[in-house]
Structure 1
Amino acid sequence: MPSEMKGQYSQFGSAISEMATESLKGWRNSIGEAAITIIDQILDGKNEEERKTFIEGQFKSTYQNRPYYYPENNAECYEGVFQSRIVSETFSTHFEVIKNIPDYNRSAALPKAALVLSILAIDRAFVLSQNGISSGDFSSDQIAKDSSPMIHQLFEKKKDGKDRVTAQLWSRIIAAAKAHVKPQTSNITSSNPIVRREEDA
């Protein structure tokens, strides 16, 4: 927050709240649009029956173990979970959005919310593609909102207190996503606190 605004939230609160809402909406929609673009690329060239078979194959198991979480849909390779092309390229949108924010202004927390949002966006993109429905506003998608708590459980601690996704696995997931981020071309930095907090909202 700019120093001249400190202590004056009552005066600027409404404007700040509106800006925060718009920033969050833009962040969510950018991830939703990325999922649709990537899935369209993957399905390009497939006929209607092939598209249907491919999409149905992605939902043949529960949200806990979707085939598309894994490279080549190989669920036997747990070390590769959340590192498939679909997940990595969609998740990379988050890092693309925050790449101009200096490290010292970023949350040190793991970007769990961004990965959850990526998974929800991919599920939605598959459904939209299967049903031939236009994308609309991902930020206000009610099914995604309702499904969010279930997806968040994938990244919570197990009953024994251990992390479901280890620090080492997180490192691989993040590295796979960042491999798709375009190099920074400007020294201009952003001080947007909304994006920073949303890394683990």
Structure 2
Amino acid sequence: MPNEMKGQYSQFGGAISEMATESLQGWRNSIGEAAITIVDQILDGKNEEERKSFIERRNRSTFENCPYYFRDNNAERPEDIFQSRIVSETFATHFEIIKNIPDDSHSEALPKAALVLSILAIDRAFRLSHNGIPPGDFSSYQRAKNSGTIIHQLFEKDENGRGRVSAQLWSRIIAAAKAHVKPQTSNIASSIPS
């Protein structure tokens, strides 16, 4: 918080809260829109029966065993979880949004919430494709609010105190997502006259 605002939260609190809420809604909606776009791209070119089969396969699975979370849809390879195209490209939206934030301002914590939101967004994208419902505001999606806790548990520690997703697996998940982030362009180069 800037020094000139310290001790004046009561005066500026409403505006700060409103700006924070708008930023969070924008972040959520961007990830939701990315998931819808990616599901649509994956389904594009499939005939009606293939689309139906693809969506039903997702809808029959749980958050823990969805084949589409694994690279090549191969749930037999747990080291590939959350590295599929649909997860990586959706999760990449988070990194795209934060890429202009200086590194020293980033949280040291793993981006669990962004990955959970990506998984929820993918779930909604499949449901929208299945039901033909218009996307709307992702921030108000009640199923995501109800399922968030369940998905967060995928990233909690097990009964032995170890994380269910190891540091090495997190590195691979993040690397797979960041591979889809467009390189940052410098404003300096674009401001130099030709």
| TM-score (normalised: structure 1) | 0.91
Following TM superposition, by how much is the alpha carbon of 1:50 offset from its aligned partner in structure 2, in angstroms? 1.2
- Taking the TM superposition and a 5 Å limit, the aligned residue runs for 1:51-66 are 51-66=51-66
CA RMSD of superposed structures (Å): 1.1
Following TM superposition, by how much is the alpha carbon of 1:3 offset from its aligned partner in structure 2, in angstroms? 2.3
Q: After the TM superposition, which parts of structure 1 deviate over 3 Å for at least 4 consecutive aligned residues?
A: none
SS in 1 for 2:133: coil
Q: Which residue of 2 aligns with 1:134?
A: 134
* CA offset digits 1:56-83 (Å, max 9, x no partner): 1123332111111101110011111000
Q: How many residues matched? A: 188
Q: Which residue of 1 aligns with 2:102?
A: 102
Following TM superposition, by how much is the alpha carbon of 1:4 offset from its aligned partner in structure 2, in angstroms? 1.6
* CA offset digits 1:129-149 (Å, max 9, x no partner): 011111010011011100100
- Hey, what's the Cα distance between the residues in 1 that align with 2:53 and 2:18? 43
SS in 1 for 2:4: helix
One-letter amino acid of the structure 2 residue matched with residue 11 of structure 1: Q
- Hey, what's the Cα distance between the residues in 1 that align with 2:84 and 2:16? 37
- Taking the TM superposition and a 5 Å limit, the aligned residue runs for 1:42-81 are 42-81=42-81
- Hey, what's the Cα distance between the residues in 2 that align with 1:56 and 1:118? 19
* CA offset digits 1:119-170 (Å, max 9, x no partner): 0000000000011111010011011100100000000000111100000000
Q: Which residue of 1 aligns with 2:121?
A: 121
Following TM superposition, by how much is the alpha carbon of 1:2 offset from its aligned partner in structure 2, in angstroms? 2.3
- Hey, what's the Cα distance between the residues in 2 that align with 1:132 and 1:62? 21
SS in 2 for 1:63: coil
User: Sequence identity of aligned pairs in percent?
Assistant: 78
One-letter amino acid of the structure 2 residue matched with residue 88 of structure 1: S
- Hey, what's the Cα distance between the residues in 2 that align with 1:62 and 1:106? 32
* CA offset digits 1:8-32 (Å, max 9, x no partner): 1111000000000000000000000
- Hey, what's the Cα distance between the residues in 1 that align with 2:126 and 2:65? 16
* 1:12 matched to 2:12: yes
Q: Which residue of 2 aligns with 1:193?
A: none
- Hey, what's the Cα distance between the residues in 2 that align with 1:45 and 1:85? 17
Q: Which residue of 2 aligns with 1:192?
A: none
- Hey, what's the Cα distance between the residues in 2 that align with 1:187 and 1:110? 29
One-letter amino acid of the structure 1 residue matched with residue 138 of structure 2: F
SS in 2 for 1:29: helix
Q: Which residue of 1 aligns with 2:191?
A: none
Higher Rg of the two aligned structures: 2
One-letter amino acid of the structure 2 residue matched with residue 154 of structure 1: L
Higher relative contact order (CA 8 A, sep 6+): 1
Are the counterparts in 2 of residues 70 and 80 from structure 1 also a CA contact under 8 Å? yes
Are the counterparts in 2 of residues 59 and 67 from structure 1 also a CA contact under 8 Å? no
Q: Which residue of 2 aligns with 1:161?
A: 161
Following TM superposition, by how much is the alpha carbon of 1:187 offset from its aligned partner in structure 2, in angstroms? 5.0
